[in-house]
Amino acid sequence: MRDQVTRALGRGRSTFAGFTTGQKAVTVLGTLALLLGGFLVFRWASTPSYGPLYSNLSASDASAVVDQLDTQGTPYELTDGGSTVMVPRDQVYATRIALSGEGLPADSDNQGYSILDDQGMSLSQDQQDVNFKRAMEGELSKTIEAIDGVETAVVHLAIPQKEVFAEEQDPVTASVLVKTRPGSTLDPEQVQAVVNLVASSVDGLDPDQVTVADATGAVLSAPGQTTGDSSRNQMVTDVQDQYRGKLQAMLDRVLGAGNSTVQVTAVLDFDDAVVETTDYSVAEGVPPRSQSSSSETYNGPGSASQVGGVVGTDGNTEVGAGGSADSSYQSTTTTQDNAIDKRTERRASAPGSIESLNVGVALDSAALARAGIDPTEVRSLVVATAGIDKARGDKVAINELTFDRTSEEAAAKALKAADADQAAADRQQLYRNIGLGVLVALMVLLAVLTARRRAKKREETTAYLVEQLRADQLGRVTATQIMEPSPAELALAESDASRGRHMKAEIDDLIARQPDDVAALLRGWLAERP
């Protein structure tokens, strides 16, 4: 086994020694590249896949977790500036359970209601109030951090002491600092949710007394500023964008892109109004709603000669003795109420209705001239598409102007230059790849030709060696006549001597490079000797 390894190494050394300088360089570089690739593959295969153990850790909690992992001998990595601890994926849950048994992470920077668990009997009222405020701030911070897009949140509460004999109390205020994750922002609904959460969690806190700011210092909500204003602005922007998009798409289709520009200003009514209307109607031929009639009838010989008496307690008048008993009096009163049609309508108008639209359109005069379009037709299209109502106060302004194409031409030139540079870079890359391919092909061809030439020389040398050995074995001796050689014979003899020296040198080189093969060849020839 040892001899085989030695012979294999010797053959390898002799083969490498027979290479040219270029072949040696290619062989060495190829071997190094193969070793490097194998090392990288082995390292990639042997490196475990890491998963997050804990995220958004405070500095103290991260330090405690890392110390415990070092004690357990668990490999880990720190990312996100040290706030996220990564461990091998197959050990995430086991490690998390083990650390939970050790009370980690302790969330020392934001403990919440756990602060109240360690209160003793000797704490003063002021200390209890401070601890309660800290607990509220911690719980609110954790609640806000649960909102999608929020990375960290800090809440500060200002709760003044209640004065017993004061008529007016200082209001409770709160401030919230929110840091969002990279690439995300809080929309107005989320800001309003933060305000409502904080205001609903603190007794006596009005939503108008909550200030919300982000990590960049921008105020998202402040006292006296409601998110309803931003919602209204967003609604106005949406309406304007909708109308502008429809009009711009239509004009681009008619005149081509870049030959027109549209701006829309919308005035919306955000009043929440309720209108109640009652209509009374009477059909033709129907009597009026209410009518009354009265009639009186008196029968008798005439007026009484003496009419008098005293009004009694029952309100009856006693007729005097001079009156006639045959007289009579009759009174009739009639009242008639007729029904009429009544319709009551109650209409509630939703906020956000359009009060007026102002549309401004600028057309490129050159594009209009090329297309042969009448601006009046464009105006009709704009009025119809936007639903312009003159009674509502809508206005439309369409003007023909000469557009400034300087920026567009500069952008086109820059784009053309960039395309030309990219094309040139692509061509250079192609030429470089072709050159490398040709160079590699030439190197391979040169190596093949060199190998063939060397193989041919080895065959010739071997054949010559065989002939010499056979001549020695058979005892062939060439007799040379002792005579004066001619110049041609001398030149031929010198050429044969030179060829013989060259052949001898190659035989010596072959014996030095492949001694085992030459020895095996000689043993084979000797074995064939009769």
The DSSP-derived string for 239-281 is HHHHHHHHHHHHHHHHH-TTSEEEEEEEEEE---EEEEEEEEE
Give the residue, 395 or 318, on which the prediction is more confident: 395
CA distance 104 to 107: 8
Average pLDDT for residues 353-369, to the nearest whole number?
89
Cα distances from 8 to residues 2, 28, 197, 509, in angstroms, run 10, 18, 80, 19
Q: What is the pLDDT, as a whole number, of residue 474?
A: 54
Longest dimension (CA), the chain: 217
Query: Is the pLDDT reported for residue 406 higher than 60?
Result: yes
pLDDT in tens, 230-288: 667 778 888 899 999 999 999 998 888 888 999 999 988 877 777 778 776 666 666 66
Residue 458: the pLDDT is 67
* 161, pLDDT greater than 50: yes
pLDDT of amino acid 108: 52
**C-alpha closest to that of 357 among 329, 335, 390:** 390
- Is there a contact between 292 and 337 (Cβ–Cβ < 8 Å)? no
All residues at 6 or more sequence positions from 305 whose CB lies less than 8 Å from its CB, including other chains: 322
pLDDT at 360 exceeding the cut of 90: yes
Residue 194 carries which side chain, given as an amino acid letter? Answer: V
- Taking residues 168-172, report their average pLDDT: 84
pLDDT at 33 exceeding the cut of 50: yes
Q: Which of the listed ranges 100-109, 156-165, 311-320 does the model predict with the highest average pLDDT?
A: 156-165
305-314 pLDDT, tens per residue? 444 445 444 4
Per-residue model confidence as pLDDT tens digits over 185-210: 888 888 888 999 999 989 888 888 89
DSSP state for residue 228 in the 8-state scheme: H
The residue among 142, 213, 134, 222 whose CA lies nearest residue 178 is 213
- Give dist(CA 507, CA 521) in Å, integer: 13
Q: What is the DSSP string of 294-338?
A: EEEEEESSSS-S-----B-TTSPBPPPTTS-TT-EEEEEEEEEE-
**What per-residue confidence (pLDDT) applies to 118?**
66
Digit-coded pLDDT (tens) for 473-497: 555 444 444 445 555 555 665 666 6
The pLDDT assigned to 265 comes to 92
pTM above 0.75, yes or no: no
State the Cα–Cα distance between residues 467 and 458, nearest whole angstrom. Answer: 14
**Beta strand 205-214 pairing with 172-180:** parallel
Helix (H) or strand (E) run with residue 520 in it: helix 515-527
Whole-number mean pLDDT of the chain? Answer: 77
Q: Which helix (H) or strand (E) holds 354?
A: strand 353-364
SS3 of residue 348 by DSSP: strand
Q: What is the pLDDT of residue 246?
A: 92
Closest Cα to residue 142, out of 197, 200, 190, 223? 197
Q: What pLDDT does 359 receive?
A: 93
Residue 305 to residue 321: CA distance in whole angstroms: 9
Indicate the CATH number for domain 243-272+347-403: 3.30.300
What class does CATH assign to 113-162+169-225?
alpha beta
The residues, any chain, with a CB within 8 Å of residue 97's CB and separated by 6 or more, are none
Radius of gyration of the chain (CA): 55
Task: For residues 524 and 530, give the distance between their C-alpha atoms in angstroms, rounded to a whole number.
Answer: 12
The DSSP code sequence of 106-131 is: --TT--GGGGGGG--TT--HHHHHHH
Interval 101-109 mean pLDDT:
68
Listed residue (266, 226, 84, 58) closest to 152, CA to CA: 58
